């Protein structure tokens, strides 16, 4: 059986182009003992993958030029030499960016039994959802009545973060750009603030207007002007959970840090970055709390879907143009 997969042909500087990605086809070897073969049905593309295209090890190894790219995927087992996995099982794994995956069974997990569409386990009940929950509950230690600010608030992570925060009863403000994203936030009872065409002072004023008493928690997905404005609007003892800095992922040279970093001292703030892989032992707790609410329709989630393996690079690049609402997915 053959597998089609994408590679990269260089480590790009600045914003990548479509020419970076190459589609290949190769014959798969016979299954070894303990391996499984999976027909992928859904692929995830995520902003963190840009860091893996830089040729530098960070919290995760970089992609290797000429080798199949990796990412979260959902699929169906079509052949198995692992007693824990049977043909027909629906599973999740990290051998994305391809149509047929072959890998050791211990790198594959069966999908939970909650009645939701299978692609939800790549989004609201997958890594993005788990990231939202962890940042609020484990890192920022959100409490009932906290006022919460979320950047990239209509994205895969931010859109769940604002809904989880809203359930705690405080004022929740989401930062977004496109009018339809702002409208989505408002329709869910979230005060929406646009960052577009605003400098730090202008965004600070807009945030203070939306929540004059200030914020207890800031969920950081973006960096740049959003972080500077947030620092100006946090209450004494505020907590910042940092899960992403998408504003700098395609920077060609180091960008200056926040000019108002002294607010961390003045307001006695706590700012902590986190990597979701370090917290995956908490996934059952997250699933127990959030899974039933998703299944009952109590939590809304958006998906932007591209069709076909060939569209995977374009779906990835669109993340940096703000072209997605909610989770960006590729359906095979």
**What CATH number is given to the structural domain containing 186?**
3.40.50.720
Q: Do residue 115 and residue 148 come from a single domain?
A: no
- Single out the residue in 277, 293, 309 at which a domain terminates: 277
- Low pLDDT (below 50) residues in the chain: none
| pLDDT of 247 | 78
Please report the pLDDT score of residue 59 as a whole number: 87
pLDDT of residue 210: 98
Counting the structural domains of the chain, the total is: 2
**Same domain (yes/no): 235, 152:** yes
Q: Would residue 73 count as lying in a domain?
A: yes
Distance CA 73, CA 68 (A): 14
| 217 and 92, same domain (yes or no) | no
Whether 16 and 32 map to the same domain: the answer is yes
For the entire predicted model, the pTM comes to: 0.92
What residue numbers bound the domain in which 243 lies? 127-277
Residues 175, 85 within the same domain: no
* Assigned domain for 290 exists: no
Question: Residue 292 domain-assigned?
Answer: no
User: 293 lies in a domain?
Assistant: no
Tell whether 107 and 136 lie within a shared domain: no
In this structure, are 54 and 118 located in the same domain?
yes
- Res 327: pLDDT: 96
> Please, what's the b/e burial string for 9-26 (b: 16 or more CB within 10 A of its CB; e: otherwise)?
eeebeeebeeebbeeeee
Question: Is residue 20 one of the residues assigned to a domain?
Answer: yes
235, 261, 277: which is the final residue of a domain? 277
Residues 6 or more apart whose Cβ sits within 8 Å of residue 195: 151, 175, 176, 177, 203, 222, 225, 226
- Which of 261, 277, 293 is the last residue in one of the domains? 277
Co-location of 136 and 259 in the same domain: yes
Residue 287 included in any domain:
no
On whether residue 216 sits in a domain, the answer given is: yes
Let me know whether 145 and 219 are in one domain. Answer: yes
Question: Are 202 and 148 contained in the same domain?
Answer: yes
Specify burial of residue 266 (Cβ count, 10 A radius: 0-12, 13-18, 19+). Answer: exposed
Per-residue model confidence (pLDDT) at position 242: 97
By residue count, the chain amounts to: 332
pLDDT in the model for residue 248:
75
Contacts of residue 13, defined as CB under 8 A and 6 or more positions apart, other chains included, come to 252
Q: Are residues 114 and 147 in the same domain?
A: no
Residue 282 lies in a domain: no
Is there a single domain that holds both residue 163 and residue 246?
yes
CATH of the domain at 41: 3.90.180.10
Two structure tokens written together for 182: 């702002």
């Amino acid at each position: 059986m053959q597998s089609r997969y994408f590679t990269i042909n260089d480590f790009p500087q600045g914003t990548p182009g479509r020419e970076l990605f190459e589609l290949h086809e190769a014959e798969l070897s016979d299954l070894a003992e303990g391996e499984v073969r999976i027909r992928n049905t859904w692929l995830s593309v995520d902003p963190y993958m840009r860091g893996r295209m830089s040729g530098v090890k960070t919290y995760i190894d970089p992609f290797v030029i000429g080798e199949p790219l990796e990412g979260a995927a959902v699929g169906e087992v079509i052949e198995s030499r692992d007693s824990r996995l049977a043909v027909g099982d629906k599973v999740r794994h990290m051998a994305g960016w391809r149509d047929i995956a072959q890998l050791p069974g211990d790198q594959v997990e069966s999908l939970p039994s909650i009645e939701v569409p299978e692609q939800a386990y790549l989004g609201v009940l997958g890594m993005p959802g788990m990231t939202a929950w962890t940042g609020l509950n484990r890192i920022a230690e959100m409490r009932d009545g906290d006022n919460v600010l979320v950047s990239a608030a209509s994205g895969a992570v931010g859109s769940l973060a604002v809904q989880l925060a809203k359930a705690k009863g405080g004022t929740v403000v989401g930062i977004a750009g496109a009018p339809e994203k702002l409208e989505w936030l408002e329709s869910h009872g979230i005060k929406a603030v646009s960052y577009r065409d605003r400098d730090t002072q202008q965004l600070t004023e807009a945030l203070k207007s939306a929540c004059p008493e200030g914020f207890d928690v800031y969920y950081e997905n973006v960096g740049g002007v959003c972080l500077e404005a947030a620092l100006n609007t946090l209450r004494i003892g505020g907590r910042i959970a940092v899960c992403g800095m998408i504003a700098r992922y395609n920077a060609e040279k180091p960008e200056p840090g926040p000019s108002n970093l002294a607010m961390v001292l003045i307001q006695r703030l706590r700012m902590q970055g986190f990597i979701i892989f370090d917290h995956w032992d908490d996934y059952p707790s997250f699933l127990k709390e959030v899974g039933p609410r998703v299944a009952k329709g109590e939590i809304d989630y958006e998906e932007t879907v591209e069709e076909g393996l060939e569209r995977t690079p374009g779906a990835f690049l669109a993340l940096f143009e703000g072209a997605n609402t909610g989770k960006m997915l590729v359906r095979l």
